[in-house]
């Protein structure tokens, strides 16, 4: 009698374990599905690149107007706008990251130094690198050109400021 009860208990335990495992597997599947859905809803390159394009144009006019904090701010969020691509396009994002950290560094340095002449040179030079990446990724038909006015006209580019004025 004792044995039968023990076997029954064991069997019930086994069933429970099996059921729990099945529920757990289904939960993992559901979570994975949600992650996949979230990821597919995040922007890839095209959407943030629009922001990169606009902020990049604005940087120039901010520096020209002596609004160095605005230039630093635009550069910071030009890079920040690309963050979703680290999830949606990790391999390509690495190329962006090395572009921003290395190739774009002279622009950031001259902003920090408030050196207009050096900035002008570094800024104009980097446009070729933007376009080289477009070509390399099969988008040679997207060619960045310098605008005659900022992309966003609703900001005062001539307020004098320090590059360090951007809140952390």
Handedness of CA 62, 68, 69, 73 (dihedral sign): positive
Contact pattern for ligand HEC over residues 3 through 42, marking x by CB under 6 A: ----------------------------------------
Measured torsion, CA atoms of residues 12, 16, 19, 20, in degrees rounded to the nearest 10:
-170
Q: What is the closest distance, in whole angstroms, from the C-beta atom of residue 50 to ligand HEC in the complex?
A: 4
Q: What is the closest distance, in whole angstroms, from the C-beta atom of residue 82 to ligand HEC in the complex?
A: 8
| Contact present, 81 and 47 (Cβ < 8 Å) | no
Which residue number, 138 or 154, has a Cβ lying nearer to ligand HEC? 138
CB atoms within 10 A of CB 66: 15
Subset of 60-119 contacting ligand HEC (CB under 6 A): 92, 95-96, 99
Which residue number, 21 or 128, has a Cβ lying nearer to ligand HEC? 128
Using rule CB under 6 A, residue 151 touches ligand HEC: no
The burial class, CB within 10 Å (0-12 / 13-18 / 19+), for 160 is exposed
**Residue 161: φ, ψ to 5°:** -150, 165
The first and second tokens of residue 47, run together, are 């959407």
Binding site residues, ligand HEC, CB under 6 A: 44-46, 49-50, 52-53, 56, 92, 95-96, 99, 130, 133-134, 137, 139, 142, 144
């Amino acid at each position: 009698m004792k044995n039968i009860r023990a076997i029954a208990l064991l069997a019930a335990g086994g069933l429970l374990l099996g059921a729990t495992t099945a529920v757990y597997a289904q939960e993992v599947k559901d979570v994975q599905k949600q992650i996949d859905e979230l990821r597919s809803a995040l922007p890839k390159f095209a959407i943030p690149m629009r922001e990169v394009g606009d902020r990049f144009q604005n940087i120039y006019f901010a520096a020209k107007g002596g609004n160095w904090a605005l230039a630093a701010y635009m550069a910071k969020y030009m890079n920040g706008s690309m963050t979703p691509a680290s999830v949606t396009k990790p391999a390509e994002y690495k190329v962006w990251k090395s572009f921003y950290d290395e190739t774009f560094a002279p622009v950031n340095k001259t902003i920090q130094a408030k050196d207009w002449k050096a900035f002008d040179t570094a800024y104009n030079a980097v446009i070729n690198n933007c376009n080289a990446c477009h070509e390399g990724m099969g988008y040679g038909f997207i060619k960045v050109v310098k605008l005659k006015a900022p992309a966003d006209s609703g900001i005062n580019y001539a307020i004098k400021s320090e590059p360090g004025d951007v809140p952390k």
